[in-house]
Copies of this chain bind each other. A is one copy, B any other.
């Protein structure tokens, strides 16, 4: 079963809003086994809307349309749909009644614009919108379905989940689509691809693999379309289990909310261990990544952003002569920062970063992007130097992720013992 999504609104085309509805509709359709073939976004403009409908209905059995149904604009999408289906707008007393009741609750008077919201194409089936004034509309012609939904995300989602999906499943007696996403960290996309090439080539043709790289990690997604759900899930689980055996130390887990920070977060909570961080080049970003996760107060004791050398010496206890001799970006300073913050916070683990985020401050020995990272625990301190890129924001993000990964590896070594 194939679908096209049409999102309507001038605000989308000028980039004033990011079109989150489209992603939400895609996931919802996928969940009942409908594959999204393409998406089209057009402005609040009748000829463009008609053109999009022509294109979409030529290739897809299901077309989901959002936007253009508010009280100020609804003339366009609704009128265009009525004309497109050779119908006209008629007054729907049930919709009028619903709009009236919604306005009453908020103490707003029913006006001419609201009356126009109760006008619907005579040929459609009205889908009541419990959360807003604009109803959804269901059109059928030549075995193809077009559904028009309001653009307000919350209203759209409810209508889609509660009304549209059940109707589509019933109407088409649908088969399933199964996706699963593995989150990896520590191998660049090209190295990862090389490492798992054999596994990838041996995948059966009906399983599709996609790489999704970012500055934080590389995600691998396996998808199966038009399949029996339980069997496909078993098959994908089996393939990922095989893959885990190939790159065990690079797999963080499954699902879009998994990250190297969350892996550490969960490991620390599980093992009841505590953490303190000392940051120079990452400037608080490392602490912020952990504390963004609900429950971080169970293990996160203290962070120190020791930007000045004085703070390194007086707050963390780094030896001034080591800064003098080796520079602030050095193994010695990173290790003393990690050990120092661990000590002052009374934490089980101390993690430190010191480097050159850029754009200024690079030297021959430590060009922009150079970062020393250290992890301290009861058994001592480990440290390593990394070289990231030219951009300040990326260097901060990559160094934070790498610091978390060094701690993750240290934690899993401890777990093995």
Contacts and interface: CB of A to CB of B under 8 A. Distances in A.
A371 to B, nearest CB: 12
A361 B221 CA distance: 35
Interface residue tally on A, bucketed by range: 35 or more
A304 B190 CA distance: 39
Contacts of A295: 360
B40 A188 contact: no
Interface in A189-224: 189-191, 193-194, 200, 208-215, 221, 223
A226 interface: no
A179 B179 CA distance: 43
A389 B154 CA distance: 13
A36 B24 contact: no
Contacts of A232: none
A72 B190 contact: yes
Interface stretch (A11-19, A141-149, A164-172): A11-19
Interface in A2-51: 10-20, 22-28, 30, 35-44, 48
Contact of A152 (B13, B23, B214): B214
A380 to B, nearest CB: 23
A315 B340 CA distance: 12
Contacts of A48: 37-38
Contact of A188 (B106, B212, B294): B106
Nearest to A7: B39
Contacts of A292: 283, 285, 392-393, 396
A39 B38 contact: no
Nearest to A44: B210
B14 A70 contact: no
A200 B73 contact: yes
Interface stretch (A79-87, A108-116, A405-413): A108-116
The 4 closest A-B pairs by CB, nearest first: A283-B291, A284-B287, A15-B26, A303-B305
12 contacts: A14-B221, A14-B223, A38-B40, A44-B210, A70-B189, A70-B213, A102-B389, A283-B300, A285-B291, A295-B360, A303-B307, A315-B315
Interface of A: 10-20, 22-28, 30, 35-44, 48, 52, 55, 70-74, 102-103, 105-109, 111-114, 130-131, 133, 152, 154, 179, 181, 188-191, 193-194, 200, 208-215, 221, 223, 256, 277, 279, 282-288, 290-292, 294-297, 300-308, 310-311, 314-315, 344-346, 357-361, 369, 387-394, 396
Given A16-B210, A103-B188, 8 more contacts: A12-B26, A14-B179, A72-B193, A73-B193, A291-B357, A295-B360, A301-B308, A303-B304
